[in-house]
Structure 1
Amino acid sequence: MKQAKSNVKRPGVNSKRLPAVSGAPGEVRVISGKWRGRKLAVLNAEGLRPTTDRVKETLFNWLMHDINGAVVLDCFAGSGSLAIEALSRYAAGATLVERDSALARHLKQNLQKLSCDNATVVNQDCLSLLSAPATQQYSLVFIDPPFRKGLAIPCCQALQQHGWLTDNALIYLETEKELALTEIPAGWRLLKENIAGQLAYRLYQRG
């Protein structure tokens, strides 16, 4: 990857898609739990937009009573920030799905640095994976795809249609704020929602 100006994300700055820059790492910080305060390097890549600390803190306040023991699926893992935060707060385990092979390798390295033995990184296209019959069911799912690529709604539909969710699964969805959500699966109940700059983030529960 070419050298370019640093695009390190700063906590509290509105989320925007970063330009494609290889080999120029930023950082994500674990907010709470057993790895509280740990900082992990993140490779900048096209479409990668780590969730800001402000949004992440709000999300995990929403989830505070549901994290311990959760089985987590991170659908567009990228930096791994959401899944790692959940694992730090004693989720039972996590599967991190990332299509980009360099990012997937880096995720594995960060999990090794944390001595994390209850997470798996899957280097595969998420929609391709989810279009097959489920091999496991998840009680907490993070969906935070690259913006404006038409990935969010098909991901939600595939999770529902192919049996990847437990009966009362919680689903976190982070998208561009203008995205229409008319095709969210029937029976998903909106629990929480908020807007931060250019993004909207929502928590659903499968009914």
Structure 2
Amino acid sequence: MPRSTSHSRTPQQAAARGKGHTVRIIGGDWKRTPLPVLDLEGLRPTPDRVRETLFNWLGQRLDGQRCLDLFAGSGALGFEAASRGAERVVMVERNARAARQLRENQARLAARAIEIAEADGLKLAASLAPQSFDVVFLDPPFGEGMLSRALELALPLVADDGWLYVESGEPLDEADPLLAGWHIVRRGKAGAVHYHLLQRENDE
């Protein structure tokens, strides 16, 4: 989900806020489709290169899979998953304007697999059934100290053979007790963003 810390802005930059820009779907049924994204404070869509890398890791197609985008923001990850055949994509966003933009983009694509929940990601995650998703995208706001709590709530939601994708301001450490029983399969860094793909350790 696209979050960032705030920075000082010139009057011209401030006047331009709210006009927005676009993100481009990288692959799948809606490949190259641009989607409008509001220019809201803290909204930082996952860059094209990072999304391309992530979906290469996941095997390009997500046919029949259930996905959760817990801090959806621009929806770049969730729309990408739906474009690549995901059976169900739940996108959670607490900001009312961002959630409205997600609904408008959903309608623009006639994306029937997508469900949009205007809600607090942590509270909603606490209400979901364990192991109910094959892929969970976790990108909580940077600098708000919620990564540990988000991990605690998201890890149980991943199916036994599923994947957890995490973006964070600092690299994850497999020695963290929260990640006991999990393995960081892949990791990368783009600018200030660290990104990771995790899966449960195989007991065999």
State TM-score, norm by structure 2. Answer: 0.85
- Spell out the pairing of 1:86-101 with structure 2 (5 A cutoff): 86-101=81-96
- Which of these residues, 195, 199, 203, is aligned with residue 201 of structure 1? 195
- Are the equivalent residues in 2 in contact too, given 1:16–1:198 (CA < 8 A)? no
1:160-198 deviations in Å (ceiling 9; x for gaps)? 3xx422112200000113566624332111100011111
- The reply to whether residue 172 of structure 1 matches residue 204 of structure 2 is no
Q: Secondary structure at the match of 2:179?
A: coil
How far did 1:118 drift? 1.1
Q: Secondary structure at the match of 1:76?
A: coil
1:151 alignment counterpart: 146
- Spell out the pairing of 1:9-28 with structure 2 (5 A cutoff): 17=5, 22-28=17-23
- Are the equivalent residues in 2 in contact too, given 1:153–1:183 (CA < 8 A)? no
Q: Secondary structure at the match of 1:149?
A: coil
1:44-90 deviations in Å (ceiling 9; x for gaps)? 21221101111111111101166222100001000000011111011
Q: Secondary structure at the match of 1:102?
A: helix
- Are the equivalent residues in 1 in contact too, given 2:88–2:114 (CA < 8 A)? yes
Count of residues paired in the alignment:
192
Q: Structure 1: where are the runs of 5+ without partners?
A: 1-8, 10-14
Instruction: Identify which range, 109-118 or 172-181, moves more after superposition.
Output: 172-181
Q: Secondary structure at the match of 1:47?
A: coil
- Spell out the pairing of 1:56-205 with structure 2 (5 A cutoff): 56-64=51-59, 67-134=62-129, 137-160=132-155, 163-177=156-170, 182-205=176-199
Instruction: Identify which range, 101-110 or 56-65, moves more after superposition.
Output: 56-65
- The reply to whether residue 52 of structure 1 matches residue 50 of structure 2 is no
Q: Secondary structure at the match of 1:131?
A: helix
- Distance in 1 (alpha carbons) for counterparts of 2:37 and 2:123: 25
Distance 1:185 1:196, change over 3 A: same
Instruction: Identify which range, 22-31 or 180-189, moves more after superposition.
Output: 180-189
How far did 1:100 drift? 0.5
1:38 alignment counterpart: 33
- Are the equivalent residues in 2 in contact too, given 1:18–1:48 (CA < 8 A)? no
More helix by share: 2
Aligned-pair identity (%): 38
Letter in 2 for 1:47: G
State TM-score, norm by structure 1. Answer: 0.84
Instruction: Identify which range, 178-187 or 85-94, moves more after superposition.
Output: 178-187
Letter in 2 for 1:201: Y
Q: Structure 2: where are the runs of 5+ without partners?
A: 8-13
Please provide the CA RMSD for this pair.
Answer: 2.4
- Are the equivalent residues in 2 in contact too, given 1:70–1:139 (CA < 8 A)? yes
- Distance in 2 (alpha carbons) for counterparts of 1:136 and 1:180: 23
Distance 1:136 1:193, change over 3 A: closer
